[in-house]
Amino acid sequence: MFVKITTSGSRQYVKLVEAFRDEAGVSRQRVVATLGRLEAVQAGGSNSLVNGLLRAAGKPTLDEGTGETTFAPARSVGDTWLLTALWKELGFADAFRRVLRNRRSFDAERLLRVMVFNRLCDPESKRGILRWLEGALVPEVPAESVTHQHLLRTMDTLMDCADALEATLATLLRPLLDQELSIVFYDLTTIRAEGSTEMSEELRRFGLSKEGDIARQVMLGVVQTADGLPIHHEVFAGNTGETTTLIPTIEKVLARYPIKRVVLVADRGLLSLDNLEAVSQIRIGAQPLEFILAVPGRRYSEFDTVLAPFHEGQCKAATEEIVSEHAWQGHRLIVAHRPDLAAELGAARDARIAELETDAARWAGKLDGQEAGQLYRGRKLSDAGTTARFYKAVSDAHLANIIRVDLSSAEFTYDIDERALAHARMMDGKLLLVTNMPDHTPVEIVARYKALADIERGFRVLKSEIEIAPVYHRLPERIRAHAFICFLALVLYRVLRMRLKASDQRLSPERALEIARRIQYHQITLHRQQTATGLTSLSTEQRNLFDAIDLPEPAVKKL
């Protein structure tokens, strides 16, 4: 079929002509449609020609068919493209598919990918994922293939293959670790759970949450490297004691990561004398496990005799942070003292004590006045009521160990425990660490421990950006699957952060995903037929982002 210009008298016409062979096999031509006079086509530009073709096909012209042009809702794709590229580059796509294939009649790896990406892009419940996909496009995953039932079945599949998945993940993460020296950080947090039903092997137990109240919860332990890369997680019942989780977790890490040297760094809540003895017995080959454990100094009065000479001789006159080393039960006791922090804590405590004593003096004066017959506005005070009120105020200020309220006395009375106050002042601004590392200086030990704040930031990411809590699942295996999905999201988050940091980008992962999210997928339909799809033109900022993290830019042909 071709366009032909014919002449009739003084006028020229544009015609659509079809070439064919007749019954004898002779080449012939026939006019399919007359598109108009040549001068009219030239004056009207391409629109005139297109309108003629549309009329020939029996469809509305461009002018007549304006209402036939439709635009599908734009869908964000830049952030999911970025995460897909990172997912594949880390080897997750192929490795997880090998573990999960032939387990179900659907692609469990791609559905796992959807759930992990959702935690980073717009964390929702499993039903909320379907709403998210109305405005987001995950590369290689048709939205119609994602159903609520398939998502739940994928979670069940994850736990059917839990050991294989965790072993595969460990294999994929090993190249990112320092094989000569791996500093391992371990901490535990509480994850609130909803629901009132009771299940067999229940994980949702009532316990003391990190927020300080009693809540139904599960406990999540996470192991990270010094670079902040999560390498292992464990889910425990909500009433599990912190100290009982340390040893089994570290043993699993050592079994999965055959590295030459491991240094365990853990916070105050995980150190007890029993735990210290158990940790000391762990061996990596012929070598003992090395550790840096923070000491809850206020719990052990035996540290007073160790710290008193150091405090009197060096801390009182110090103007900058000082670090010292002492011997304690066959281990190195490292003590760091910050004068600025000590002064701040001491001043705040003294202010609280002064405020409480002012209140106590006012209430005592009123009680004495009442006994002398004086009249006051408001309710009459009683010694018992004043004692209870003052004790609550002292407890709320966390000063019950210093301000001793006599609850058994018939009269309102209290006193200041000067020894406890002196002990608190001595501990202000001090960090106590127990370690068995032989080749690190005290300053290096302190620096290693202070990096533990990074894992705490990891927990904040889990609870804020990834929104691991509250947990709405009730089945223990689905709770574990939910934790695994969130853990994978944390791995992607940290790897993205490491890449941004390595390229000297000052962007957070959240900001990077926000920038990429503005890249949208568009679909235009003309005359009830899909004729065009495309992506938002990338800005300089978006191109620089993909270049900085060394990932390919989005391409519509690969969606």
Q: What is the mean pLDDT of residues 258-277?
A: 70
Q: Which residue has the higher pLDDT, 141 or 5?
A: 141
427-463 pLDDT, tens digit per residue, is: 899 988 989 888 889 999 998 888 776 667 777 888 8
Q: What is the pLDDT of residue 115?
A: 96
Domain ranges of the chain: 2-66, 340-427
184-238 pLDDT, tens digit per residue, is: 788 788 899 988 788 778 899 998 887 778 889 999 988 888 788 899 999 999 9
> Average pLDDT over the chain, rounded to whole?
86
Q: What is the pLDDT of residue 294?
A: 83
317-360 pLDDT, tens digit per residue, is: 899 999 999 988 888 999 999 999 999 999 999 999 999 999 99
DSSP string over 444-464? HHHHHHHTTHHHHHHHHHHHT
Is pLDDT at 466 greater than 80 in this prediction? Answer: yes
Which two structure tokens, joined as six digits, stand for 124? 């929702």
Counting residues of the chain whose pLDDT is more than 90, the rounded percentage is: 45
Is pLDDT at 56 greater than 80 in this prediction? Answer: no
Q: What is the pLDDT of residue 516?
A: 96
Q: Which residue has the higher pLDDT, 426 or 213?
A: 426
Is pLDDT at 273 greater than 70 in this prediction? Answer: no
Q: How far is 539 from 38, CA to CA, in rounded Å?
A: 43
Which two structure tokens, joined as six digits, stand for 242? 């912190």
Q: How far is 57 from 526, CA to CA, in rounded Å?
A: 14
Is pLDDT at 261 greater than 80 in this prediction? Answer: no
For the chain, counts of helices (H) and of strands (E): 18, 20
Is pLDDT at 30 greater than 90 in this prediction? Answer: no
Computed on alpha carbons and rounded to an integer, the radius of gyration of the chain in Å comes to: 35
Which two structure tokens, joined as six digits, stand for 418? 């000067």
SS (H, E, C) 150-198: HHHHHHHHHHHCHHHHHHHHHHHHHHHCCCCCEEEEEEEEEEEECCCCC
Q: Which residue has the higher pLDDT, 532 or 49?
A: 532
Q: How far is 477 from 162, CA to CA, in rounded Å?
A: 10
Is pLDDT at 299 greater than 70 in this prediction? Answer: no
Q: How far is 189 from 455, CA to CA, in rounded Å?
A: 11
Q: What residues does 532 pair with on adjacent strands?
A: 524
Q: Which of 315, 308, 264, 319 is nearest to 288 (CA)?
A: 264
Is pLDDT at 153 greater than 80 in this prediction? Answer: yes
DSSP string over 47-90? HHHHHHHHHHTT---TTTTGGG-EEPPPEE-HHHHHHHHHHHHT
State whether residue 396 is helix, strand or coil. helix
Is pLDDT at 157 greater than 90 in this prediction? Answer: yes
Q: Which residue has the higher pLDDT, 447 or 180?
A: 447
76-86 pLDDT, tens digit per residue, is: 999 999 999 99
- CA-CA-CA-CA torsion sign (363, 368, 369, 375): positive
Tell me the CB-side half-sphere exposure of residue 333, using CA atoms within 13 A: 17
Q: How far is 306 from 300, CA to CA, in rounded Å?
A: 11
Task: Using a cut of 0.85, tell me whether the model's pTM lies above it.
Answer: no
Q: What is the pLDDT of residue 204?
A: 92
- Tell me if 267 sits within 8 A of 294, measured CB to CB: yes
CA angle 195, 201, 205 (to 5 degrees): 45
DSSP string over 246-307? HHHHHHHHHHH---S-EEEEE-GGG--HHHHHHHHH-EETTEEPEEEEE--GGG-TTHHHHH
Q: What is the mean pLDDT of residues 57-61?
A: 66
Q: What is the mean pLDDT of residues 529-536?
A: 77
Q: What is the pLDDT of residue 378?
A: 76
